Structure 1
Amino acid sequence: MDETGFRMFRLSSVGYCCAQIMIKMALEDEGTENEDLIRALNGLCMGIGSEQKTCGVLTGGIAVLGLYAGKGNDQECPSPSYTAMVDEFTGWFREEFGSTDCADLIGVCSVIDYQTNQEYRLKCGDTLIRSFEKIREILRGHDFTWGSRVPD
């Protein structure tokens, strides 16, 4: 397992879901934290509200793109390349994994820790790793430096 996979496994093992892991790792790579953002992304877990609809890896990846290129205050505009980056990631994701829905990607393969009532998905690891790397590639391709959120 490479460093990215180990970091993801560590975060998953303490109860973070896919969308949270995507953002948490992006924040860690820039040396920051944002517990409110991580908490808010909990609603995207297990296919948005545990409905197994749009995959949390996809929505978490789009959130990372927004973290870098989206509108963040009244005086800002999204980066001109933001929509293109989202479209590129979404298209790649659909092509790479065959669907954007959690139910199609992993079905109901999970384990429940009855002490904490936390459900863990078993098939997300490879999707997480490949998607995280793709997000970094897309950002670099649009002149963003990973870990700084400042366009080159």
Structure 2
Amino acid sequence: MDDLSLRLFKLSSEGFCCAQIMYKLALEDEGSRNDDLIRAAQGLCRGIADTQKTCGVLTGGIGVLGLYGAKGNENEACKDDFLQMIQEFHTWFKAEFGSTKCVALIEERDFASGDQSFKPICAGIIQKAYVKVYEILQAHGYEYGNRE
């Protein structure tokens, strides 16, 4: 098992969901922590609010790109390439996985039932998406793990 797979397994075992894992990986890679962001991301999981609509890996990946390129306070603007980066990621995601909808990616699940059979599917999606976010940032001249 490679390092990213081990990290994914650990975070999933600790009870973090897809969007949270995308953020946790990004924050860990820069040596920082933001528990409030991780809490907020939980609402994006399982297809936003457990509705199985837009995939939390997709929204989490867009959020990670936002950490680098989006507006963060009243004294700044989003970077010129931010919209292009999120469009690249969205287009890639849909082409790579065939859908942006949680239900299409993992089939209908009753998350309250304790059925965890979706986790290997999600882990594969997270792994590919996380690498793609890294590649997009690199292609746009960002130093991954350093937002300063």
- TM-score with structure 1 length normalisation? 0.91
Instruction: Give 1:5 deviation, angstroms.
Output: 1.1
Structure 2 CA distance, aligned partners of 1:135 and 1:97? 15
Q: Does 1:125 align with 2:116?
A: no
| Cα separation, 2, equivalents of 1:111 and 1:74 | 39
Does structure 2 conserve the Cα–Cα contact (< 8 Å) formed by 1:110 and 1:119?
Answer: no
Instruction: Let me know the Cα RMSD of the aligned residues.
Output: 1.8
The Cα shift of 1:121 comes to 3.1
- Superposed displacement of residue 2, structure 1: 1.1
Deviation at residue 75 of structure 1 after TM alignment: 0.6
Distance 1:135 1:4, change over 3 A: same
Letter of the 2:147 partner, please give it.
R
Q: Is there any run of 5+ residues in structure 2 with no aligned partner, and where?
A: none
C-alpha distance in 2 between matches for 1:80 and 1:111: 39
C-alpha contact (below 8 Å) 1:8/1:125 kept by paired residues: yes
User: Which consecutive segments of 4 or more residues in structure 1 shift more than 4 A?
Assistant: 109-114
User: Is the 8 Å Cα contact of residues 110 and 120 (structure 1) preserved in structure 2?
Assistant: no
Residue identity over aligned pairs, in percent, reads 50
TM-fit CA distance, 1:108: 3.1
CA contact (8 A) 1:58 1:93 kept: yes
**Secondary structure of 2:54's partner?**
coil
Q: How many residues align?
A: 147
Distance 2:123 2:129 in 1: 10
Q: Distance in 2 between matches of 1:92 and 1:101?
A: 14
Higher helix proportion: 2
User: Structure 1 residue 45 and structure 2 residue 42: aligned?
Assistant: no
1:104 aligns to what?
A: 104
